[in-house]
């Protein structure tokens, strides 16, 4: 499993289990690690900007066109469309698409057998 963290403060934001190919060229995820993101609607574009809740690092955007929801999918309550979300973004049956700038992420891979993580 690979965990994606901010390069600025090291907070865990996403994991490889939620990564998918969005055919955009940007890293894309359908859920956060534990919901530690802040959202702001941009005035000019109307897009929802995503930032790290801890350090304010700008990460990218979230859109309403992620992969279809599957039975058993678990998402943090504060993710868009979740019960504690500050806004409703997604259509029923569809996950959000977090479109993230790869430069803002540090990738840590957990080694099998509980070994130390490697950083890429």
Residues 66 and 90: their CA atoms lie apart, in Å, by 8
- Going across the sheet that includes 97-100, the strands are 19-20, 28-29, 97-100, 58-63, 48-52, 37-41
Residues 73 and 15: their CA atoms lie apart, in Å, by 14
Q: Which residues are catalytic?
A: 99
């Amino acid at each position: 499993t690979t965990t994606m963290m901010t390069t600025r403060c090291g907070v865990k934001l996403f994991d490889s289990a939620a990564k998918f190919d969005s055919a955009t060229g940007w890293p894309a995820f359908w859920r956060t690690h534990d919901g530690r993101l802040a959202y702001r609607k941009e005035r000019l574009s109307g897009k929802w900007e995503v930032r790290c809740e801890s350090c304010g690092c700008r990460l990218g955007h979230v859109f309403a066109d992620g992969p279809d929801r599957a039975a058993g999918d678990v998402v943090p309550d504060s993710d868009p469309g979740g019960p504690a979300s500050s806004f409703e973004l997604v259509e029923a049956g569809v996950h959000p698409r977090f479109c993230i700038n790869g430069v803002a992420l540090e990738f840590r891979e957990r080694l099998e057998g509980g070994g130390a993580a490697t950083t890429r």
